[in-house]
Structure 1
Amino acid sequence: MNKKTDIDIVIRYLEDPDNEQHKQQLNDWIQQDTANLDIFLDMKAMWQGDPLPAASAFDTQNQWLQLNATLETLPSATISAPAATTASRNTRVFQMKARYWWAAAAVLAIGLTWTWLGPGSYKTITTAQNLDSLHLPDGSMVYINAHSTVRYSRTFGKDNRHIKIDKGEAFFDVVKNDALPFTVDAPDVEVEVLGTAFNVKAAKAGVKVFVQSGKVSAAYKSNGSGKKVILTPGQEASLARHGNTIDTRFYKKNNNILAWKTRCLTFDDAPLNEVAAALSDFYNVQVNISNQQLNDKKLLATFPNMPLEEVLDIMRKTLQINITYKDNLVEIY
């Protein structure tokens, strides 16, 4: 069955879920291949506008087996007329199972939205306000920040080690494999490594790549500039969206690029504007410094996963400054 026909079957059911013929067609199609259940649930979630958070440990195959086991244990004595033929009995038993199928599929959809197994060649992980981690088939680890979307090939580790970050931020701890380079595809930028630990942040303004260990190549993909940079530990590259410039800088050991992962903010005589930027990233708030004379003030402090209100209170007392926090806006004056 071609893909257009497959999509038509799902859409017809979603448009008229009470239509028995559409139910039957969809049920027959799902029975043809276990992957079709993933496609249906993906399209159903998008149709209903459901959120797609991530939980990479969800065992899809096990859930499929449990669902089949449930269907097989349904009661078969569903015919009330003693004279019913064997064919009629089988038909009515199948219809009973079909109704249980839709109920079970609806319940299963709730679990599958944690790990989005959509159509195509990629498996997609999306986080909302939570952090998540992903153990890839080659042994590499991915730590995913909140409000991020990461995809990786269904054949990952076999003939490729290709992963995409559509938005947000992720830290990669990559197992070395000289024969199969590890590549990260971000908007307008491609990152390639053999074995290393690095961070990729894809924002509206552009992509930032920070290297914790090893070496990383970051390059523009399709703007024709051919520009690339080789990054070493402690170095970060900033590549503008739809641009052709690459800015690099070195960070000292105590920086907050990976604070979202370690859940700890550390400031070692950091200027106030640097503190404001770190607070904005970590707590997902807007921070404004209305009195520019305060930029000369420096902060020496460590905040291990503390609530923002407590951090701001310590800053008030330590730096002797005024701070207000309301409606996701922090004003420093």
Structure 2
Amino acid sequence: MNKHTDIDIVVRYLEDPENEQLKSELNDWIEQDSANLDIFLDMKAMWQGDPLPAASSYDTHGQWQELNKQLVTPVTTSTPASAPVVQMKRRYWWAAAAVLLIAATTWTFFWPGGYQTFATNQQRDSIRLSDGSMLYLNANTRVRYAREFGKKSRNIKIDKGEAYFDVTKQQDVPFIVNTPEVAIEVLGTSFNVKSENNTVKVFVESGKVSASYKKSNKKVILTPGMEASLRLHQNEIDTKTYNKQNNVLAWKTRTLTFDDTSLSDVAAALSDFYQIKIKIDNPKVADKKLFATFPDLSLDEVLDIIRKTLQVNITKTNDLVEIY
């Protein structure tokens, strides 16, 4: 069985874990080689966007028991219905015992098909690619690219999340970023891609970027300060142009800047930056203007400054902030 077939078995199962046929195929594949269980557990963690556990905390026995519950099938025998018998092949336990322990700092995984995956959980991180380009990942982001990246092509796929690209110019090898339905192509530039809620947003800081739907000829050329919003399963592209004071890249710079900005827009930026919900019911309060710069401050510090500066009331309960 070749490596491409191996990864197909695991990916198909992860896409449809309730499918009995896929469970059976995965079951047979894991039995073939003790290393296959290790590969499956790693791929499952990366697929779900989970951080890989520290060696000291990796519960191999528990992981195998949980996997076995999903893969083995009760067998009908003469045993009473209240005590079903479960068939399990003995080699599984030997395979489980051979699982390699993985260090907590590991966040890169080479897929059997020749792809390298990088994922972040609550942290942010950066990668220098083989062509010299820099890739900055926001929290809860997963990207992947071929091991041969940079030799004949420079293609990267964003599975989820947000990433900033500072691309080294190579005239003969375009740099292409793919999401499920949108392709972004550049030669040398700096831009940001955010994929969430069935929408892909592309913001250009420098250079020129082409963003297009894969299934149609609909595309847009973006220049510095422009952002395009492309919604999945649609064919429309919305664009807007920001002035120099915007917070599209605040997650990377860790600085929020507001220049005569309405409180409603401030709330939207804070909501995105701190991953919270902000509610403003009073239109007069929402229209208040704010001049402020917040260099990597905590949410509580920012809210306290807004409260004192704009003379508003603010209450915070868990992940909900109300301004009135």
Q: Same fold (TM over 0.5)?
A: yes
Q: Deviations over 1:310-333 (max 9, x none)?
A: 100110010011111112111111
Matches within 5 A, 1:96-135: 105-107=99-101, 109-111=102-104, 113-135=106-128
Q: CA deviation at 1:269?
A: 1.0
Change (3 A) 1:50 1:245: closer
Q: Do the aligned partners of 1:53 and 1:115 also contact (CA within 8 Å) in 2? A: no
Change (3 A) 1:51 1:200: closer
Amino acid in the other structure paired with 1:174: V
- TM-score w.r.t. the length of structure 2 is 0.75
Match of 1:68 in 2: none
Change (3 A) 1:5 1:147: closer
Matches within 5 A, 1:42-81: 42-46=39-43, 52-53=50-51
- TM-score w.r.t. the length of structure 1 is 0.73
In 2, the alpha carbon distance for the partners of 1:296 and 1:322 equals: 15
Match of 2:268 in 1: 277
Q: CA deviation at 1:243?
A: 1.2
Higher helix share: 1
Match of 1:297 in 2: 288
Q: CA deviation at 1:51?
A: 5.6
Change (3 A) 1:308 1:11: same
Amino acid in the other structure paired with 2:195: A
Change (3 A) 1:42 1:5: closer
Say whether residues 1:314 and 2:314 are aligned partners: no
Give the gaps of 5 or more residues in structure 2.
10-23, 53-93
Q: CA deviation at 1:119?
A: 2.9
Q: CA deviation at 1:50?
A: 7.9
Q: Do the aligned partners of 2:288 and 2:310 also contact (CA within 8 Å) in 1? A: yes
Match of 1:201 in 2: 194
SS at match of 2:192: strand
Matches within 5 A, 1:11-90: 11=27, 26=33, 40-46=37-43, 52-53=50-51
Q: Deviations over 1:284-329 (max 9, x none)?
A: 1111111122122111111111110110011001001111111211
SS at match of 2:110: coil
Q: CA deviation at 1:112?
A: 7.8
Match of 2:165 in 1: 172
In 1, the alpha carbon distance for the partners of 2:180 and 2:268 equals: 23
Q: Deviations over 1:196-217 (max 9, x none)?
A: 0000000114111000000000
Change (3 A) 1:306 1:248: same
In 2, the alpha carbon distance for the partners of 1:5 and 1:206 equals: 32
The structure having more radius of gyration, on CA atoms, is 1
2:246 paired residue among 228, 231, 255:
255
Larger mean Cα displacement after TM superposition, 266-275 or 112-121: 112-121
Q: CA deviation at 1:152?
A: 1.1
Please identify runs of 4+ aligned residues in structure 1 that moved more than 6 A. Answer: 5-10, 101-104
Change (3 A) 1:47 1:296: closer
Say whether residues 1:218 and 2:211 are aligned partners: yes
Change (3 A) 1:111 1:129: closer
In 2, the alpha carbon distance for the partners of 1:2 and 1:241 equals: 34
Q: Deviations over 1:100-126 (max 9, x none)?
A: x9878532x345852122232421111
Amino acid in the other structure paired with 2:165: F
In 1, the alpha carbon distance for the partners of 2:302 and 2:105 equals: 38
SS at match of 1:155: coil
Q: Do the aligned partners of 2:49 and 2:140 also contact (CA within 8 Å) in 1? A: no
Q: CA deviation at 1:250?
A: 1.0
Give the gaps of 5 or more residues in structure 1.
15-21, 31-38, 55-98
Change (3 A) 1:237 1:267: same
Q: Deviations over 1:65-117 (max 9, x none)?
A: xxxxxxxxxxxxxxxxxxxxxxxxxxxxxxxxxx9x9878532x345852122
Say whether residues 1:234 and 2:232 are aligned partners: no
In 2, the alpha carbon distance for the partners of 1:220 and 1:178 equals: 23
